[in-house]
Chain A
Amino acid sequence: MNLAIDVIQALMLIAIAPLVRGVIARIKARIQNRRGASVLRPYADLLKLFRKQDLVPDTASGLFRLAPVILFAVTATAAVFVPVLHASALFGVGGDFILLVYLLAFGRFFLMLGAMDGGSSFGGMGASREALVSALAEAPLLLALTSVAILTHTISLSGIVLATVQQYPLHLSAVYVFALGAMVLVAIAETGRIPVDNPATHLELTMLHEAMVLEYSGPSLALIEWASAVKLTLILALLVGVFAPWGMATGASIVGLVLASGAFALKFAVSAIAIAVIESSIAKLRMYLVPDFLGMASALAILAVAFTALMR
């Protein structure tokens, strides 16, 4: 039973990923006084792309078409780590947050290489900027998760979530506040949202992710887009799971699971609204202000770790 739930929640995470994107886009459109496309639009886009031809630059090597496959495979594997419906995951025990962070780095490395294989300046430009953001985002992400791991005395994601579910809901520690702050900032940078990157732009001066995937088309592009949607969803699920896991099923009862799905949908809706509001109300940062932004995340994460020792 537990195994089945583990598999289902991982597949669910991968399956609903495009929906999360659609919902965010829809809410954004509403805030901007537009009607917006259907929330199912990203699925239609993926289907369309999967039916198209795969255009490969004449200078590219085999890696160009391998990179999206690897990116999707490691991102999907990372999804197996994250507890969603109940406080456990298939790789939740052996699979800890260090592995999760490095699996995401794995995918990003290959995406950067794929971008540089195109042989144009856009790919290199995007990869170079992505390298900057990811080099500076990895440390605060790991430190923030480290502080939570220290509080809960375990490094496995299931353990962290379980410990948080079991404690009194209003047991707020300064560590959580700092760690949440750091994680939110890093999540914005990692998933390429405003103010770090603008997923809706196609202007070379402003873009990171879009510049990297500029040469990709057809099924390869579909895989990349799907993988980045999965990444967004799993980082949201991680945030929700670590900082607000209440409502998750602790046993394996059907009622518990239904309640957990409801709670999960509610929490995701709230985070989608939050993202949409943030994206509609602030402008994108200049490229060279991004290090300051991530510096703030690092400072928060360092404070979170320091407070675990100071407050025990």
Chain B
Amino acid sequence: MIQTTFNSFLVALLIIPAVLLLCRRSRGTRALPPLLLLLALLAGTVVAGFSFWRGDRLALDLSWATPFPFALTVDRLSAFFLLLICAVGVPVTLFSTSYVERHYSGPKADWMWALLPLFLLSMALVVTASTAFAFLFGWELMTLFSAGLIVIDGASERRRHNIFIYLVMMHAGAAAVIASFLLFVPHANSLDFISMRAAVASMPMGLRTAIFLLSFVGFGTKAGIVPFHLWLPKAHPIAPSPVSALMSAVMLKTAIYGFVRFTFDFLGGGPTWWGYVVLLAGAVTGLLGILYALTEHDLKRLLAYSSVENIGIIYLGLGAALVFMANNAPVWATVALVAALLHALNHSLFKSLLFLGAGAIADATHTLDIELLGGLLRRMRVTGTVFLIGCCSIIGLPLFNGFVGEWMLFRSFIEGAELPGISSAIILPLMAGVLALIGGIAAACFAKLYGVAFLGRARSIEAEHATEVTTSMQAAMALLAAACVAIGIVPGVVLNPLMVLARELMHSPALPEATLPISHALPLIAACVGVVIIAVAGIRRIKRVTPTWACGLPALDSRMQYSSAAFSKPLRKVFSKVYEADRTVEVAYAQEPYFPKSIVYRSVRTTSFEKSLYRPAVDAIVGMASRLRRLQTGNMQVYLLYIFLALITLLVFMRFA
């Protein structure tokens, strides 16, 4: 039964573009493809949920139809990520139904509804594949379909440049992933996951390390760990909002899946320094991600950088799990891994909520520059409320889902002090400080975002005339917000099956009991906060509306409010080493040095990675390519000579080899 539903889920996603082609002529059936997609995703959610909670295994072997072994298997780990894809896919599709209707027409809308199911299907393939071929097939399609979805919004010079960077980095990453698969070849009979898992036992340490490092770089590029994060703030903001939501919330998680599959499932952990590498990557990614996010004024770029930060937090958990595994502490490795996976789920929920919120804001005001927003909560109550829930979740406030994952992470870091090795016993607890610092800056960042965009007075005419978005958009966001609050107050629902999953991966017999109190404490705290709120709400408060005091001046206007740039200035000043902005100030004077007529201030921030890492690398590659170009003379005789020389070389090689 479940197997059939799973199969029909895959088939439904596959045939939606064909259905679209059939239905596009008649008006009456236009709503069919979105409806079909919604139903398919609901079915997928149910299947994945069953498989995740009960541990049913599903399998689908299509090797008879393909030149390479192509098989899908759903175990608990796959089911978890499939659940994440489908559960986020449902509200995103719901949102898209009216988003597409309001923003696109004709072929653009058709492309959207054709590529969206295929993009979702490719991600489902990645997380359920059980052969290298199926995995890489899905992996490649995922990149291409998402790039296709970005192109729908136009292909100007700048957008093409960003998409180009996206594609190049994805393929560099894919190359590393393919290489890490190929390294299994000498020891595994075939490249299906079962033989790969079995092959690891006979592998020398050096080979394992090579596989680990390649998968770390390959999946890290997709996940966006620093310094491979460059594509994220370029590609995510230019996609249509529902697609940005899917890319940031779900697509990045497929990389987490791949890394967990390789490092935990196949390799079964490694020496302690692997863990340190991942921890360091997580710490740097988290801190730089949120510091870059802090300075952004473009809503979607800010959210993209915040995804970098959250990926950093997930990697902190994975790193801690590796360290615990290397030190023979499977119980605490389980906690750290659960923290990472739970944060992956939580991030999908609140980040898709925030990206859809960004879509709603763009829909209502036609801008994403937060310096031009303001006062939106008064005009868009539902959007404003759910966006606030998203902000509370992302900065990890208790009673919202982001907190639960971070709490488990803190818990495992503190437990690191019990490890025998002195370096682990110092490094792991200090990571709690790093996580707290990331959380503190994130709170500043999202207070800025929400305060500037949703509160105070409107900063532009568009923001002043914003109206609430359509009901289906509101419903989509409300669904996600409800999930955030539900997991935040009753985390046991996902925590318990995740524990089972992590224990399976760790082969850990014992249940980490020290983490149980949080599941009991959170509902109590929610009740306590609720009681106090009700008690306080009973206090008589007579409201009188007055203008804000303007220090005796006639009236305040929106330009007197604190801007986004001003808000983040103190923290930018403290962390000025990170930013290295190139500032130019040009002043034109009426009479030097007094009476300036005009002041032009420009501040361009290129991150030091672009300047000192990518620029030299790109220059070197381009330089090499232009030197190689001398081979291409365009002269027919020379090409014949090349062919002749190649033939001679081959013949010589065959003779002596």
Q: Which residues of A are in contact with B by a Cβ distance under 8 Å? A: 50, 53-63, 65, 69-70, 72-74, 76-77, 80, 91, 93-96, 98-99, 101-103, 105-106, 108-109, 112-113, 115-121, 123-125, 127-129, 131-132, 134-143, 146-147, 149-150, 153, 155-156, 214-215, 218-220, 223, 287-288, 291, 298, 301-302, 305-306, 308-310, 312
Contacts and interface: CB of A to CB of B under 8 A. Distances in A.
In the A-B complex, the 7 residue pairs with the closest CB atoms? A124-B562, A116-B451, A94-B521, A131-B444, A135-B440, A94-B517, A309-B425
Contact of B548 (A215, A308, A312): A215
B443 A309 contact: no
A124 B407 contact: no
B525 interface: yes
B395 interface: yes
A124 B567 contact: yes
Contacts of A223: 536, 539
Given A54-B541, A61-B377, A146-B429, A308 B571 contact: no
A61 B545 contact: no
14 contacts: A57-B547, A58-B547, A72-B536, A102-B407, A117-B455, A119-B456, A120-B550, A124-B563, A131-B570, A134-B443, A135-B443, A139-B437, A156-B517, A309-B417
Interface stretch (B25-33, B184-192, B396-404): B396-404
Interface in B433-464: 433-434, 436-437, 439-441, 443-444, 447-448, 450-452, 454-457
Given A119-B457, A127-B567, A146 B539 contact: no
Interface stretch (B111-119, B208-216, B336-344, B527-535): B527-535
Contacts of A220: 541
Given A61-B378, A142-B436, A308-B429, A99 B543 contact: no
Nearest to B400: A106
A221 to B, nearest CB: 11
B392 interface: yes
B414 interface: yes
A53 B454 CA distance: 26
B417 A150 contact: yes
A305 B436 CA distance: 14
A121 B562 contact: yes
A120 B563 CA distance: 11
Contact of B397 (A76, A102, A115, A117): A102
Contacts of A91: 521, 524-525, 528
Nearest to A138: B440
A73 to B, nearest CB: 4
A59 B456 contact: yes
Contacts of B377: 61-63, 117
Contacts of B529: 73-74, 77
B7 interface: no
B646 interface: no
Nearest to A102: B398
A143 to B, nearest CB: 4
A156 B413 CA distance: 15
A149 B433 CA distance: 14
A115 B450 CA distance: 12
Main secondary structure on chain A at its contact with chain B?
A: helix
Chain B interface size, as a band, is 35 or more
Which of B455, B539, B573 is the most central at the interface, judged by chain A CB atoms within 10 Å of its CB?
B455
A96 B398 CA distance: 12
A53 B544 contact: yes
B444 A94 contact: no
A75 to B, nearest CB: 9
A63 B455 contact: yes
Contacts of B544: 53-56
B161 interface: no
B384 interface: yes
Interface string B368-397: 000000010110010010001000100111
B566 A124 contact: yes
Contacts of A72: 532, 536
B429 A120 contact: no
Contact of A95 (B434, B439, B521, B550): B521
Main secondary structure on chain B at its contact with chain A?
A: helix
A287 B536 CA distance: 35
Nearest to B444: A131
B549 interface: yes
B556 A120 contact: yes
B439 A106 contact: no
B398 A219 contact: no
B561 interface: yes
Contacts of A102: 396-398, 403, 407, 439
B426 A123 contact: no
Contacts of A60: 455
B548 A119 contact: yes
Nearest to A98: B410
A147 B377 CA distance: 42
Contacts of B375: 59, 61, 119
Contact of B450 (A73, A113, A214): A113
A116 B452 contact: yes
A59 B378 CA distance: 9
Interface in B558-614: 558, 560-563, 566-571, 573-574
A292 B397 CA distance: 27
Contacts of B455: 60-61, 63, 113, 116-117, 119
Contacts of A99: 398, 407, 521, 525
Interface string B501-517: 00000000000000001
Given A77-B529, A93-B517, A125-B562, A112 B447 contact: yes
A65 B541 contact: yes
A267 to B, nearest CB: 26
B100 interface: no
B411 A98 contact: yes
A53 B568 CA distance: 34
Contacts of A115: 451
A69 B451 CA distance: 18
Nearest to B430: A305
A69 B556 CA distance: 27
B567 A146 contact: no
A309 B421 CA distance: 9
A143 B543 CA distance: 43
A125 B436 CA distance: 23
A77 to B, nearest CB: 5
B102 interface: no
Nearest to B540: A219
Nearest to A105: B443
Given A120-B560, A288-B573, A302 B433 contact: yes
A302 B399 CA distance: 29
B290 to A, nearest CB: 10
B518 interface: yes
Nearest to A112: B447
A149 B413 CA distance: 12
Contacts of B465: none
B615 interface: no
A131 B525 contact: no
B636 interface: no
Given A91-B524, A139-B440, A143-B436, 18 more contacts: A95-B521, A95-B525, A101-B436, A108-B443, A112-B451, A113-B447, A120-B550, A121-B560, A128-B562, A128-B567, A131-B444, A132-B570, A132-B571, A132-B574, A142-B433, A149-B414, A150-B417, A309-B425
A74 B447 CA distance: 18
A120 B549 contact: yes
A96 B525 CA distance: 12
Contacts of A308: 417, 425, 429
Which of A65, A109, A135, A306 is the most central at the interface, judged by chain B CB atoms within 10 Å of its CB?
A135
B207 to A, nearest CB: 33
Given A69-B537, A120-B561, A309-B422, A134 B397 contact: no
A80 B444 CA distance: 26
B140 to A, nearest CB: 41
A138 to B, nearest CB: 4
